[in-house]
Structure 1
Amino acid sequence: MKSLFSRLWLSATFAVILLFASIWQWLQFSHEFTSQQVQQSLHKELAAHMAHINPLLSKGVTSDAALKEAFHDFMLLGPSFEIYTLDTSGKVVAYDAKKEKIKSSQVDIQYIEQFIAGQELPLLGTDPRSETKQKIFSATRLLDQSGQHTGYLYVIIGGEIFDSWQTLISQHQAPKQWSAAIAFGILAALIIFTLLLKYFTAPLARLEYDLGQVASQSLSEGVALPGDYRGSREINQLSQHIDKLLAELSLQHQTIAGQQQAKHEFLLHLSHDLKTPLTSLQGYIETWLVTPPNERQAEWIEIAANSGKTLQQLLAQLLELAALENGQVHASVQQVSLRLLLEELQQSFAPRAETQGIQLDFQLPHDRAIQTDPHLLKRVISNLVDNAIRYTPSGGKISIRHHSKNGQEWLDVVDTGSGMHQHELSALQQMSGKPIRYEDNAALPQLGVGLAIVRQLLGLLQYPIEIESQPGKGSQFRIQLV
């Protein structure tokens, strides 16, 4: 009973039975109303006719022993009638019944006057044999020979004997009628609503089945519901929303799979970057230890120290990248002299470039102030220059120049190094005006930690970048400052 179909079926069946019972009650009331209207209309002149044919009543007599005998004769001819005479105030005067049968000795003459005035039937009046029940009646005024109003002749239509027989018959027939009606109503509800609910819930059942089949499909290949659902508008819209969610889920799965692959490649490259100086450090130290003291060369220790510095630099960059990805670094924008910033960088990299035989050309701008975070921008340029020095052979050239184009200011870092492949360019160009997190975007395969940091820092600074590079011909990084 937990399924939607069974719940709808039970609710609908209960509603039909309740509706059927209400209709049955209304029909009973309508039948009773119509029956009373018909009977009262048929016997409308009954009291007037009785008063006309009876000598005493025609003379306006309301209390006489002979009236009881006349009432007895009338009631033998019409067992369903009860006859009374009333005085002008509605008090019961004469009747043919035992005294204890009379429960109400006063009749409301308001309805009698409405009846005599010809108002719409049925009209219910006081039943002298009941304290609360009202019945249809026939009534007429009684007048004496001088025309003086002496009282009323009041005839109850469907009296006590009629009620007894009707109750007896109803006790035998009503259970059968009710049983047949309820059985028919339940059977009708079962047939009609089973068919309707089966029809209306069929698309929902199909949707549920199709969703179960979707669970066995591979997200990496894309998942979707097999077809359209032509049921109600809500089910059709629900299937469309589910299709949209499945498409987004599949896309996210493929994105995550790509990110994991890119991360794996990045970690492989990173492990190589870490392994190289670590191997060099360990190799020269071990060589130093196994070599006799008189044969040891000082340059071995110098090379080992340089490898240690490289390893330390890589670890520092890893910590910096982790801080960037975790949102621990924020841009603090202020007015900065671009010339002074580039002069500091030139002084920092000049000795290293000279040692490696690389020409370092800083084209310093005029004293130009820009709004930026000086530490983050310096870190971006430092990483680009450092990466250029690493991959530019002796005799190569690295240029840093500032220029304007279409009202925008650009800072270019150009080298004549080994360059990058297209997939490396695509990875680096995945930047936006917002800080970029490693989990939300593919890592930089084969680009090293330095360029990964550049990627994060440019996101913090909201600086777009354009990259041109060809393997063996060098690279050009163009950063838009304003």
Structure 2
Amino acid sequence: MAFKHRLLLFTLLWFLVSAAVLTTLSVRVWEENELRTQQSLHRELALHMRDDNPLMVGDDYSPKALSSIFHTLMLLGPDFEIYFLDPDGNITTSGPPIENVQRTQIDTTPIKQFLAGEPFPILGQDPLMPSREKVFSAAQIDDGGKVAGYLYVVIGSQQRIALSDPQSLLQYVPVVAGALIVILLFALVVYRMVYRQIIRPGRTMVKQIEDAALSEFRITPPLNFNAAELQDMASQYRRMMAVIQQQFIQLRVQEAQRREYLVQLSHDLKTPLANILGYLETWRIQHKEGQGMIDTAYHNALRLQQHLKDQLEAARSPSAKVVLSYQEIDVAELLSDVKKRFELSLRQKHIEMIVLSDAGATIMQIAS
């Protein structure tokens, strides 16, 4: 996968992950701040209810105080739920109808944390909805120096239910959409910058290097870029191409020296070889018998002369190329030629060589 596509894919994934994380964090921070604000504003609510209306008359609750508190509850609206708890957290009296209460016992640990002044928000159990925890206000009710119970006020009951309604959440859609659009624009700007500063100059550099390679690096490409990130790379490429140019020059010099040496060597060998061929040919004309070894020497000299001729032509032509081809050779003729080459040394050692081969057998030889 090309870097451009990887960058585009990474940008898209980064946008999606960022959008999800940003949305989640925003909702959590907003909810936590809302709960902290509500609990801070109503911190003294249960305390005022307790102090303004003495609740205890002997060992029982005061009906007059209860009537006043529930009247206050009606004035506050359905967003508050008031409960009277015994020291163990059991609900003894509730503002909402008792048949609507689904949890008859409340954990008193959050209430003790609230009374101890720990940082908000502190969430407590909701008697009407056991699966939810909500902010609250609480006050301790004492009777004769002992804890007689707690006044427990759940805050934001109906408001939290309304906020969980999808229709209520629609009002936050423009805010979230605006944040996502800002993130997308930022991603597009970053991609555009990377494309203009890195990807496009990189393509230009590759194109210039390819053009220089087609001309055997005789011309050094400019490799000038505005991006500072590519300056060091371009500098190293220019240095590398300078070395390549120097090596090409050295190869041309060595090739010229090699051709000159081959031409000189061919000329030096051509004259003595011609004399050898002349002597061998004269011998063959004057002597009709015992020409086996002379014929072998004569044919080898002819072959050597042809090789020298080919080398001389290749050395004189700088554009000459070696073309390889397959040539069919008779096996019997090849073995006979080998026998003739070693015939003199075999005779001196009193060794007789017998060559047997199938008639018509051939092999393929690569020849230039």
Range class of TM-score, shorter chain: 0.5 to 0.7
- Matches of 2:59 and 2:182 in 1, distance apart? 57
Sort the Cα spacing of 1:218 and 1:95 in 2 relative to 1 into closer, same or farther, 3 A. Answer: same
Per the alignment, residue 163 of structure 1 pairs with 160
| One-letter identity of the residue aligned with 1:224 | T
Q: Are 2:91 and 1:92 equivalent residues in the alignment?
A: yes
Give 1:248's aligned residue.
Answer: 243
User: Superposed, which structure 2 residues align to 1:246-285 within 5 Å?
Assistant: 246-285=241-280
Tell me which amino acid in the other structure corresponds to 1:179.
Answer: A
Query: Would the alpha carbon gap of residues 69 and 164 (structure 1) be closer, same or farther in structure 2, given more than 3 Å must change?
Result: farther
Structure 1 residues 15, 292: closer, same or farther in 2, change over 3 A?
closer
Match of 2:232 among 233, 237, 247: 237
Asked whether the equivalents of residues 84 and 95 of structure 1 are also in contact (C-alpha less than 8 Å), the reply is yes
Q: Which residue does the alignment assign to 1:210?
A: 208
Offset at 1:58? 7.9
8 Å CA contact retained: 1:223, 1:246: no
Distance 1:73 1:224 in 2: 90
Write the distance in 2 (CA, Å) between the matches of 1:166 and 1:245.
67
Do 1:8 and 1:197's aligned partners in 2 also have CA atoms closer than 8 Å?
Answer: no
Q: 1:209 to 1:291 in 2, by over 3 A?
A: closer
Q: CA deviation at 1:11?
A: 1.6
Matched residue type, 1:48:
L
Secondary structure of the corresponding residue to residue 164 of structure 2: helix
Which of the residues 207, 222, 226 maps onto 2:222? 226
CA distance in 2, matches of 1:59, 1:223: 108
Separation of aligned partners in 2, 1:167 and 1:66? 35
Instruction: After TM superposition, list the pairs within 5 Å mapping 1:329-348 onto structure 2.
Output: none
Which amino acid counterpart does residue 17 of structure 2 have in structure 1?
L
Once the two structures are superposed, the pairs formed by residues 181-220 of structure 1 within 5 Å of their partners are 181-219=179-217
Contact 1:9/1:194 (8 A) holds in 2: no
The 3-state SS of whatever aligns with 1:30 is helix
- What residue identity is the alignment partner of 2:164? T
In structure 1, give the amino acid aligned to 2:222.
Answer: P
CA contact (8 A) 1:58 1:142 kept: no
Determine whether 1:110 maps to 2:109. yes
Q: Distance in 2 between matches of 1:70 and 1:204?
A: 77
Residues 83-482 of structure 1 aligned to structure 2 (within 5 Å): 83-99=82-98, 101-144=100-143, 146=144, 148-159=146-157, 161-168=158-165, 169-219=167-217, 222-233=218-229, 235-287=230-282
CA shift in 2, pair 1:16/1:172, >3 Å? closer
Q: 1:45 aligns to what?
A: 44
The 8 Å contact of residues 122 and 135 in structure 2, kept in 1 or not, is answered as: yes
Secondary structure of the structure 2 residue equivalent to 1:34: helix
CA change 1:205–1:43 in 2 (3 A) is same
Alignment partner, residue 312 of structure 2 = none
SS of 1:134 mapped into structure 2:
strand
- Percent of residue pairs bearing the same amino acid type: 31
Structure 1 gaps, min length 5: 294-303, 319-482
The one-letter code matched in structure 2 to 1:226 is P
Q: Is the 8 A contact 1:62 1:151 kept in 2?
A: no
Give the drift of 1:158: 1.0
Provide the rounded CA distance (Å) in 2 between the counterparts of 1:60 and 1:43: 29
Secondary structure of the 2:138 match is strand
- When the two chains are superposed, the root-mean-square deviation of aligned CA atoms in Å is 3.8
Partner in structure 2 of residue 327 of structure 1:
none
Residue 7 of structure 1 aligns with which residue?
Answer: 6
Tell me if structure 2 keeps the 8 A contact 1:67–1:94: no
| Secondary structure in 1 matching 2:160 | helix
Count of residue correspondences:
298
Where in structure 2 are there 5+ consecutive unaligned residues? Answer: 289-293, 309-368
Q: Relative to structure 2, which stretch is displaced further, 275-284 or 172-181?
A: 172-181
Residue 89 of structure 1 deviates from its aligned partner by 1.4
Corresponding residue number in structure 1 for 2:291: none
State the distance in 1 between where 2:123 and 2:284 align.
127
Equivalent-residue separation in structure 2 for 1:120 and 1:236 (angstroms): 56
Kept in 1, the 8 Å contact 2:35–2:135? The answer is yes
Could you say if the C-alpha distance between residues 192 and 281 of structure 1 is closer, same or farther in structure 2, counting changes exceeding 3 Å?
closer
> Residues 65 and 108 of structure 1: is their aligned pair in 2 closer, same or farther, counting only changes over 3 Å?
farther
Q: Which amino acid aligns with 1:151?
A: G
State the match for 2:34 in structure 1. Answer: 35
Which secondary structure does the structure 2 equivalent of 1:131 belong to? Answer: strand
SS in 2 for 1:215: helix
**Structure 1 counterpart of 2:139, which letter?**
T
- Name the amino acid aligned to 1:51: R
Structure 2 CA distance, aligned partners of 1:147 and 1:290? 150
Distance 1:190 1:292, change over 3 A: closer
> 1:8 deviation in Å?
2.0
Contact 2:83 2:91 in 1 (8 A): yes
Residues 238-290 of structure 1, C-alpha deviations (whole Å, 9 max, x = no match): 22332232222222223223323222222222222332122112223445566
